[in-house]
A and B are shown apart, each in its own frame.
Chain A
Amino acid sequence: MKPRHLLIGFIVLLALAPLVLPTFQITLLNYIGLYALVVLGLVLLTGVGGMTSFGQAAFVGLGSYTSAYLTTTEQLPAWLAWSAGSPWIALLIGIALTAAVALILGALTLRLSGHYLPLGTIAWGISLYYLFGTLDGLGGHTGVSGLPPISLFGLVLDQGEKIYYLIWAVLLGAIFITQNLLNSREGRAIRALKGGQLMAESMGVNTFRSKLIVFLISALFAAVSGWLYAHTQRFVNPTPFGLSMGIDYLFMALIGGVASVWGALIGAGVLTMLKQWLQDLLPYLLGSDGQYETIVFGLLIVLLMQRAPGGIWPFLMRLVPARFKQRRLLREQSQQVAALAHRALPEQGQVILEARNVTRRFGGLVANNNMNLKIHAGEILALIGPNGAGKSTMFNQLSAVDTPTSGEVLFRGESLTGKSSREVAKMGMSRTFQHVKLLPTMSVLENVAIGAHLRGDKGIVSSALHLERAEEQSLLQEAKRQLERVGLGDYLYEEAGSLALGQQRILEIARALCADPCLLLLDEPAAGLRYKEKQALAELLQKLRGEGMAVLLVEHDMDFVMGLVDRIVVMEFGEKIAEGLPEEIQKNPAVLEAYLGGVE
């Protein structure tokens, strides 16, 4: 049995449910579907994108109230009169309104870091909730009643059993596009948001745009759920759009498994059923009516966070045999895959990168003082120096992560002052990190494919509908080619986190190469590598040099450096103390003194 068969079985069961189950159970299933749609957005936002939101319920309210207002108000203002009465037009307007609100809120709050973002979502969540209760024409806290049912191709969906099909079709559609999206170029950028933003930016990903996109999608899922809810209930009041519901949605996501699409469904199901059951049971036990299930939910979440922060879905996945889990992302070789276009490399010997009088001060500390260096195409330059010499600071200036206090860095004749690492990536500079930065739960192949982000251009919509498969195959094929080139061809589908540290460093090089750069900046690439691996790496770098690539190494391993590079720049106390061929550097008295201490 394959996952696909399970899915088909599930859909068949869903389709048969209204024929066998009593109305009450169907109502419950409707709620589960509606909640799951919101939670799905939350999975995308929180579990995948790493942004915790307590405000989703407010977006549900936005979808609900837009439709309630447009379909029930007797006398709409003249400019809205054309939209009166039809739930479908109301849906479109609701989507547009939600998108506008989400874009504004997103632009305001998504730049917030750490704790400030969830607190921000609480703030606007509450504000919107109170707005629903106070705005004129929305019925105050008593709400709006008498919403018309949705009709579809002449079929009036006025009963739970009928709208059930619409709810679940929408939900399955949403799951489908979410999964498609996550398995695409844009999806990889989104998955990099959690714990890999610095890396993603240096690979040319606009992380703020990715954040805004997930935020928008999750808001739209919530709004559609709200629209369906309004026309299932045929009645709307502010209560279900308050912060406590926002918290419930987050709890559902956490219980089901916040990082997985199907976890949304499980979480919504479990919490809804549990709530139903507890609402029957607890008043018996405690002897009075009230929302006591919150006590159980609260404690349950505490326990979950303490014992199994991943939720239910990872437990289920543990039961599945490993061979079903590995998804083959690449098609068989027999099919023609278009190769990606290559950047024309500059001529051998041309200056690629030049630092002019670069000085960087941190308060009173001068980390780099008046540094000058040049890297030519087809050359390997090593930047060496004792610990604390300022190499990493220099590396940051060269890669535009940091801006010099004075002086400037020129890359292919253009100044890097004021350029983001994203723009620099676009110009053809690619780098690795001293502390390996990769996404440990993602496969090796996909990690490397992030490097090729700028070489694809298909957007969100084609990703969600999987219309970009040809480009996707080209990108993955390129990633595979680079992985084979660095000697990791056997590990394509392993989790990147399971590789040894040395292999992870090599993976970073493959990822950098995937960007098709003309300058490669490598921060201690040989650290943690075994002898054979170092030899292979040296061979690879030599080959790249032969192709005309410029390479800058910051490295401590002298054997590795001396046998490989063309020129060396030595730093100490933030200044350049020597520059020249490896043989010259080895005999240079200033260098010897810096490394070994002078003879008194």
Chain B
Amino acid sequence: MNFQIAVLLGQDGVTNGAIYALLALSILLVFTVTRILLIPQGEFVTYGALTMAAIQSGHPTALAWMLLALMLIDCALDLRTMLQNGFNMLKMRWIGLKLGYALLLCVLIQTLPLAEIPMVAQALLTLGLLVPMGPIIYRLFFQPIASAPALVLLIVSIAVHVAMVGIGLLLFGPEGGRTKPFSDAGFSLGPVLLKSQTLWVILVSITLIILLFIAFERTLYGKALRAAAINRMGARLMGISPVFAGKATFAMATFIGALSGILIAPITTLYFDSGFIISLKGFVGAIIGGLASYPVAAVGALAVGLIEAFSMFWASNYKEIIVFTLIIPFLLWRSLTSRHVEEEEE
């Protein structure tokens, strides 16, 4: 291996690592606030990438109809609660707004010349389609069992993942999707060429991480979410709704997932079932962070990306094996150092 190859591999590793870091942060966020290990995180990535690809090729994606359907179910549930608790003008207006939004997106997807609009608009459309699904998914699948044992939540999470992979096949078909790079420029750093997309990924990831940091350290809602993460019951007594916390984190998780998808779609071809492995690598990062520490998780995820890239070079067939075996010592170390009494969880 010479310097040039090392830089090339390092570049790949950092790109993937940055994505894994984003996912690890999102997984960690969801876990600390809701105790859910969000396995479907990877599906948000593939949905984001494949929707972007569909839009760029000018197909009015069927995802819009799925959003409408989910929104209808959501509003039907809203109406049912309203029947039980009495009419509420504010909520009624909210329902109208939600349905209007879903219909608007359906109309946009059907009428806009999707392939011609600027890439920023395509990305916004993709995010606009996907992000509202997060809170609805939380509401339909997790909210009714929010206080169930953590393992039940894990199983439901896996079940949602399995269903979403099937739906992904239905929506996007078995073909992979790849999108145009954000810009064509490349930068040369000495003898090696840096891909502009790599810089985009790193730039956006860092910005997002900083934004998240500010949101959690400086804003009231961010602090409320942190409070819910540290002590659910205490937060609840202080008037922080766990339902709100759950929906907000899921919205954030879908946003991060879909954005990651849009970011890596120009670099790798993603298929409807690629999400699982991607989110598992995010998990490896999150586990290295002990499912608690954000900075360690981010660094861990970056390390996963690098190890993956370099093992591709030395032992490409054993790439996945190396990455996933890697987490066992960390798991072991974590469980031996954290004194955690199983009994009380049951």
Give residues in A with beta carbon < 8 Å to B: 50, 52, 54, 108-109, 111-116, 118-120, 122-124, 126-127, 130-131, 134, 194-198, 243-244, 247, 250-251, 254, 286, 288, 290-302, 305-306, 309, 437
Contacts and interface: CB of A to CB of B under 8 A. Distances in A.
Contact of B335 (A111, A195, A305): A111
14 contacts: A50-B346, A52-B154, A109-B332, A113-B335, A115-B151, A123-B328, A124-B325, A127-B325, A130-B318, A130-B320, A250-B155, A301-B156, A301-B159, A305-B159
A244 B174 CA distance: 17
Interface string B126-164: 000000000000000100110010111011101111111
A134 B316 CA distance: 10
A116 B152 CA distance: 14
Contacts of B155: 52, 250, 254, 301, 305
A290 B145 CA distance: 31
B287 A119 contact: yes
A301 B317 CA distance: 34
Contact of B154 (A115, A286, A302): A115
Interface in B217-253: none
B325 A115 contact: no
Contact of A123 (B165, B167, B327): B327
A290 B335 contact: no
B50 to A, nearest CB: 15
B28 to A, nearest CB: 12
A346 B267 CA distance: 77
A126 B155 CA distance: 18
B331 interface: yes
Given A115-B151, A131-B321, A294-B163, 15 more contacts: A50-B346, A111-B335, A115-B154, A115-B291, A116-B335, A119-B283, A126-B320, A126-B324, A134-B318, A196-B343, A198-B343, A254-B155, A292-B170, A295-B163, A301-B155
Interface string B42-81: 0000000000000000000000000000000000000000
B326 to A, nearest CB: 8
A340 to B, nearest CB: 29
A122 B280 contact: yes
User: Shortest 7 CB-CB distances between A and B: which pairs?
Assistant: A298-B163, A295-B166, A301-B159, A294-B166, A298-B162, A195-B346, A134-B317
B163 A297 contact: yes
B321 A127 contact: yes
B150 A291 contact: no
Interface string B304-346: 0000000000000110110011011001101110101111011
A109 B328 contact: yes
Nearest to A52: B151
A197 B343 contact: yes
A113 B159 contact: no
A203 to B, nearest CB: 14
A133 to B, nearest CB: 8
Contact of B151 (A118, A120, A244, A299): A118
A290 B324 contact: no
A298 B332 contact: no
B159 A109 contact: no
B327 to A, nearest CB: 5
Interface in B58-110: none
A291 B166 contact: yes
A196 B152 CA distance: 19
Contacts of A299: 159, 163
A108 B145 CA distance: 32
A309 B164 CA distance: 21
B206 interface: no
A302 B161 CA distance: 11
Given A108-B328, A305-B156, A114 B340 contact: yes
B214 interface: no
Contacts of B255: none
A111 B336 contact: yes
Given A108-B328, A122-B280, A298-B161, A290 B174 contact: yes
B342 A197 contact: yes
A455 B29 CA distance: 49
Contacts of B141: 302
Contacts of A290: 166, 169-170, 174
A124 B346 contact: no
B146 to A, nearest CB: 11
B276 interface: yes
Contacts of B338: 113
Contacts of B9: none
B166 A243 contact: no
A306 B159 CA distance: 12
Contacts of A437: 343
Contacts of B256: none
B163 A115 contact: no
Nearest to B286: A119
Contacts of B163: 294-295, 297-299, 302
Nearest to B290: A116
A246 B324 CA distance: 16
A250 B158 CA distance: 10
A130 B325 CA distance: 11
B340 A243 contact: no
Contacts of B335: 111-113, 116
A359 to B, nearest CB: 20
Q: Determine which residue in A50, A123, A286 has the highest number of CB atoms from chain B within 10 A of its CB, and name it.
A: A123
Contacts of B151: 52, 115, 118
Given A52-B151, A250-B155, A305-B145, A119 B37 contact: yes
Contacts of A123: 280, 284, 324-325, 327-328, 331
Q: Determine which residue in A243, A299, A302 has the highest number of CB atoms from chain B within 10 A of its CB, and name it.
A: A302
B16 to A, nearest CB: 17
Contacts of B277: 126
Contact of B159 (A114, A130, A195, A298): A298
